[in-house]
Chain A
């Protein structure tokens, strides 16, 4: 296996509605910065891969337009996934493992504010038995949350504490959308949105973009003083039908974590893509994370949840903290689908 490191990360400040910048402009801002900070010349980058969703953009092949931001002349080697950028990073990592490139640019973007996000996300459901019912992402997360309450051991108070901690920590993150001090009692006094979830249990709708540059071995060492090595990366998926799964556990995250070589005793922090508060506990259990691991110092997806970007942003935020010397070894996680159906786990470490 080749050693591959993340050498740079850039993201836009996340907003409820970005109506001044087009997708191309958002992408260009993060790609330009990520390349500039990478220490690798644009012409040397061997592969480019992006993650986004045409349904979010309301246009077939919408991702092709984003290539305009890359200055793809002479032509570049480029690919795309209709997924979170974390999976674009996985494809780029595989490309480098195969020896087809020594460095890669990975980016993700979306302006979910332009559509009705909950209706858009319903389109990812089974078209025969689920999508026609119009069941939405919040409702599905609520079914998962109720299962947790029924099982016992977790309470709505725990979830409110996750929301309070996340948004308080987000105050240190200049790119976060929802940041501030909230009180658990006041949050618990709010009405349910879809019971047992309240508004604070749900992620915001966020527009934005992010990019990372990854590179192999010596290319990474030449480019960066503190390359953040991807020690392991893996992703697993569970069956689609919520009624077939045990929604209180994330077996795919456990398996991906094992395959990625997660050792909870040796982690300083974890950036978890848990868009709904109850999911953070599920992921911590799945990965065996104890109190010694700091969760989502960036504020996590409860502070900003740009669709198709938030998973890549977890990798970026973990990288940023390792580069700054705040951590030596971190875990970053990304999710797709409803109720943590598909999960990617990545272990990052400095030399």
Chain B
């Protein structure tokens, strides 16, 4: 901008630092994932199982109690193909972000699908977790690098019921 031009904008940088803490059901989940296990929590009233584990049931508004281990295999309930780059994401485009419902869980979560052509992704597709090497495991869901298709027949859309 030349000296003569009036100021049209200013840049206001922002940086805020936080320390998040996790205890209770969240910490229990992280402790388990550090050992390669996916353990959710069950609501004592509606009996739904939530993974990642949460301290309460969002439907009933009461504390979850029982811990329930679930499989690291599941089904895609919905997905999208991302074709635009993002500053913080270092993935080859296009890539697939999918909602995966793990066997034993009642709540899908969003995750990255890899090792699959985006044209082949479909609702009902069976997928499995791809873990980092065990020596790299930390108390973080990032121990799972991504999900990939596994060799099982699709779950028919009708069977996915409320999740689609």
Q: Given A24-B55, A24-B56, A123-B16, A69–B61 Cβ distance below 8 Å?
A: yes
**C-alpha gap A257/B14 in the complex (Å):** 37
Contacts of A68 in B (CB 8 A): 54, 56, 58, 61
Contacts of B63 in A (CB 8 A): 25, 28
Contacts of A69 in B (CB 8 A): 56, 61
Contacts of B16 in A (CB 8 A): 55, 58, 115-116, 119-120, 123
* Cβ-defined contact, B20 with A25, below 8 A: no
Q: Give the residue of A25, A70, A123 whose beta carbon is less than 8 angstroms from that of B24.
A: A25
* Cβ-defined contact, B18 with A58, below 8 A: yes
Q: How far is the CB of B22 from chain A (nearest CB, A)?
A: 8
Q: Mark B57-93, 1 if CB is under 8 A from A, else 0.
A: 1111111000000000000000000000000000000
Contacts of B4 in A (CB 8 A): none
B15 closest partner in A (C-beta)? A119
**C-alpha gap A69/B54 in the complex (Å):** 11
Q: How many residues in B have their beta carbons less than 8 Å from beta carbons of A? A: 23
**C-alpha gap A128/B24 in the complex (Å):** 42
B12 closest partner in A (C-beta)? A127
**C-alpha gap A131/B13 in the complex (Å):** 10
**C-alpha gap A119/B54 in the complex (Å):** 30
Interface residue A36 (Cβ < 8 Å from any Cβ of B): no
Interface residue A194 (Cβ < 8 Å from any Cβ of B): no
Contacts of B58 in A (CB 8 A): 67-68, 71-73
Q: Mark A54-97, 1 if CB is under 8 A from B, else 0.
A: 01001000000001111111000000000000000000000000
Contacts of B14 in A (CB 8 A): 123
B61 closest partner in A (C-beta)? A71
Interface residue A20 (Cβ < 8 Å from any Cβ of B): yes
Interface residue A183 (Cβ < 8 Å from any Cβ of B): no
In which size bucket is the chain A interface?
20 to 34
* Cβ-defined contact, B12 with A25, below 8 A: no
**C-alpha gap A20/B25 in the complex (Å):** 10
Interface residue B145 (Cβ < 8 Å from any Cβ of A): no
The A-contacting residues of B in range 116-153, CB under 8 angstroms, are none
Interface residue A19 (Cβ < 8 Å from any Cβ of B): yes
**C-alpha gap A116/B55 in the complex (Å):** 26
Interface residue B21 (Cβ < 8 Å from any Cβ of A): yes
B17 closest partner in A (C-beta)? A116
* Cβ-defined contact, B21 with A114, below 8 A: yes
Interface residue A98 (Cβ < 8 Å from any Cβ of B): no
Interface residue B19 (Cβ < 8 Å from any Cβ of A): yes
What's the dominant secondary structure at chain A's contact region?
A: helix
Interface residue A21 (Cβ < 8 Å from any Cβ of B): yes
Find the residue from B14, B22, B54, B61 having the highest chain A CB count within 10 A.
B61
**C-alpha gap A101/B59 in the complex (Å):** 22
* Cβ-defined contact, B56 with A25, below 8 A: yes
Contacts of A120 in B (CB 8 A): 16
The B-contacting residues of A in range 84-136, CB under 8 angstroms, are 114-116, 119-120, 123, 127-128, 131-132
* Cβ-defined contact, A22 with B26, below 8 A: yes
Interface residue B1 (Cβ < 8 Å from any Cβ of A): no
Q: Given A70-B61, A71-B57, A73-B58, A19–B18 Cβ distance below 8 Å?
A: no
The B-contacting residues of A in range 1-53, CB under 8 angstroms, are 19-22, 24-25, 28, 31-32, 42
* Cβ-defined contact, A19 with B21, below 8 A: yes
* Cβ-defined contact, B20 with A58, below 8 A: yes
* Cβ-defined contact, A20 with B12, below 8 A: no
* Cβ-defined contact, A131 with B18, below 8 A: no
Contacts of A114 in B (CB 8 A): 18-21
Q: Mark A166-205, 1 if CB is under 8 A from B, else 0.
A: 0000000000000000000000000000000000000000
**C-alpha gap A32/B56 in the complex (Å):** 12
* Cβ-defined contact, B24 with A20, below 8 A: yes
Contacts of B18 in A (CB 8 A): 58, 114-115
**C-alpha gap A28/B61 in the complex (Å):** 7
**C-alpha gap A24/B50 in the complex (Å):** 15
Q: How far is the CB of B52 from chain A (nearest CB, A)?
A: 12
Chosen A-B contacts, 23 in total, with CB atoms closer than 8 Å, are: A20-B24, A21-B24, A22-B22, A22-B26, A24-B54, A25-B24, A28-B56, A28-B61, A31-B61, A58-B18, A67-B58, A68-B61, A69-B56, A70-B61, A71-B60, A73-B58, A73-B60, A114-B21, A116-B17, A119-B16, A123-B16, A128-B12, A132-B12
Q: Identify 9 new A-B residue pairs, CB closer than 8 A, beyond the known A19-B23, A72-B58, A132-B12.
A: A21-B23, A22-B23, A22-B55, A24-B54, A25-B63, A73-B60, A114-B21, A116-B17, A131-B12
B contact residues vs A (CB 8 Å cutoff): 10, 12, 14, 16-24, 26, 54-63
